[in-house]
Structures are given as C-alpha cells and as structure tokens.
Amino acid sequence: MRFRELRLVVLFAAVLGSRGTGFAGRITVSLPKGSHVCREVKLPKWQGPSTPLQPGIYDWFHLLLGAPAESDWRFRLGGPDLLIRTVGYGPPLFERAKDPDRYYSGNISGIDPASGRIRAVDESEWARGTALPMVRKSTLPNHGATKPMDRVVYLGHDFPRRGHDWPLLAPDVARLSEDGMYLVVFGWDGHRGGYGDLVQASGSSDGNYYVDFYAADSAVRMAGFQGHFHELDFDHLFEISAWASSRYFVFPLNETLDRLVLCDAVKITGAASR
C-alpha cells in the first residue's frame, strides 16, 4: 500500500471510530511544574461560518474532524496577544489553491501567551493582525508506516523519543520549527486499538504520549510534556500538531481543535530538562 493511500485509510478509519464512539475518548496533559514554556488552553467551541457550506460538505463539525486535510487553525499576532480561529476548506481539494481560506469560523479568540487569558476578538482586530504560517515539517523520510526501531536523525544528531513507539506514519513523528532551531519529537506507549499492520475501525486505545523539544543543532532536550489518552485517535493528534511560525507550537487535545497545548519557543531557552 502506498503512503498516500495508507494515510487516507487511516483518516477514514479514525473518523468512523470517532463517530461510532460519540467522542467518548479522552486525553489529559501533564505539564512540568515551574515551567511556563507550555500551557493548556481551552477555547470556546468553534462556531460555523456565516457563509453557507457548499453542497457536498457534510457540516461544519465534520470539517473540523478532517483537520489538517479539510480544516486547520489560523493564527495571527495582534499586539501582545495571539489571535486564533479555524478555517474549513471543503471539496473539491483542487480549489484550495484558489481559495485556501474558504470558510472561517464565526468566532475568533485572543490568547495572552503570558497568562493564558482568553478573550473574544472581532473581525476588525483579526484583519489588522499579522498572519503566521502553519509549519508541519518532519525529518523522517516519508516511507509510510513507522517501526519502533526507526530513528530521527537531523544535522548528524540522533533525537530519541520517550515511549516504546513512534506515531503510525513517518511524517508525524517530529515537527521542525520554521527557523530550524527546535525539533519536537513525539512518542507513545500503551495499546493502539484497531491499528497495526492492517488498519481497522474497531478496538480501543489506551496509553501515554510524549512531546519533547530539542535544540536542533545539538539534540539537547530543552523542554517537554506528556499525557494520557484513552479511546481516542491519538495518531491523528500528532498529525494536526504544528508550529505557528518559529515561535509557537500547538498540540491538540481533542479532534475539534478547541482544546490544545500552546508552547512559546521564546521561553524554551533555559527551561529545565525533565
């Protein structure tokens, strides 16, 4: 099975599993005490766009479930705050090049990275903000499914994971910041229900995931966090994770993009390695 076909099968199975369980799965996060590099952020539920969805799109909720292929976050800098909303693309995919921001969420939030304070933002403030690119660059060759013995090597350095396994697909094992200064490496251990050599849409998952920040030029671990997942498509969460420019890293804690971990690279230097 080719890589592109494998990814599509995995995403299809994930959506089926999510609908079948009614989103009964859950994920927790444990952040290092005394470190302000990362914080958990809980946003208001994303409202649908004012523009009617075109025929062929099931609904706004299911567009969010298709992230990052059918929806994504959008970030802008607005003064000291980080502005965030979601965008849905919708079929057909080839039209995305003409209109990449087809459906904006009806609500926008502003996050104060220092305090975690969240506030509502209007369209005029959003328009004045400076757009930040979404970066999902990995360093493992795109050879499809991963194996536990695979290695992440970058600039001649080996970047180990915590946990027994990598994410299922090679492009989802790491995230390199836009400026190349930091490499985020993922790992997990536990049980992956319904996944294996053959992808199935049944079973349950339970275990722990690990997210570690390394200095890309030295492979020195600078910061990190971990958490627990249960009956959730956690591989999909690795895939959604991204850098917003070179400064902010975001890791989703659910499939509807309104609960996440936000990390500030400016605060990574000097963070205690744990």
Q: Is pLDDT of 10 > 80?
A: no
Residue 42 lies in a domain: yes
Q: Which residue has the tokens 């009806």?
A: 106
Q: What is the pLDDT of residues 189-227, one digit of tens each?
A: 998 876 444 444 445 789 999 999 999 999 999 999 999
Quick check: helix, strand or coil at residue 52? Answer: coil
pLDDT confidence bin for 24, thresholds 50/70/90: low
Confirm whether 272 is domain-assigned.
Answer: no
99 vs 228, higher pLDDT = 228
* Count of beta carbons in the 10 Å neighbourhood of residue 204: 15
Q: Write out pLDDT tens, residues 255-269.
A: 999 999 999 999 987
Confirm whether 38 is domain-assigned. Answer: yes
- Rounded Cα–Cα distance for residues 230 and 193 (Å): 10
Q: Is residue 164 part of a domain?
A: yes
Taking the model in full, what pTM does it have?
A: 0.85
Query: pLDDT for 145-178, tens place per residue?
Result: 888 888 899 999 999 999 999 999 989 999 999 9
**Residue 273 counted as domain residue:** no
* H, E, C per residue of 161-175: CCCCECCCEHHHCEE
Q: Which residue has the higher pLDDT, 196 or 28?
A: 28
Higher pLDDT, 147 or 238: 238
For residue 205, the enclosing domain spans: 3-267
What confidence tier does 13 reach under pLDDT thresholds 50, 70, 90? very low
Mean pLDDT of 26-31: 94
In degrees and rounded to multiples of 5, residue 206 shows phi and psi of: -160, 135
Q: What pLDDT, in 10s, does the model give residues 83-100? A: 999 999 876 665 666 666
Does 216 map to a domain?
yes
The answer to whether residue 274 sits within a structural domain is no
Amino acid identity, position 268? I
- pLDDT for the residue 256: 94
> Rounded to an integer, what distance in angstroms lies between the CA atom of residue 226 and that of residue 40?
12
pLDDT for residue 96: 65
CA angle 233, 192, 17 (to 5 degrees): 40
Characterize 133-152 residue by residue with b for buried, 16 or more Cβ atoms within 10 angstroms of its Cβ, and e for exposed. Answer: ebbeebbbeeebbbeeebeb
Residues 178/248, Cβ–Cβ less than 8 Å: no
- Which tops the pLDDT comparison, 96 or 76? 76
Model pLDDT for residues 35-74, shown as the tens digit of each residue: 889 999 999 999 999 888 877 777 899 889 989 988 999 9
pLDDT at 12 over 50: no
> How confident is the model at residue 133, as a pLDDT?
95
Nearest to residue 88, comparing CAs of 101, 75, 107, 76? 101
Number of domains making up the chain:
1
Q: Percent of the chain at pLDDT above 90?
A: 59
Domain for residue 104, yes or no? yes
pLDDT at 15: 39
CA atoms within 13 A on the CB side of 219: 11
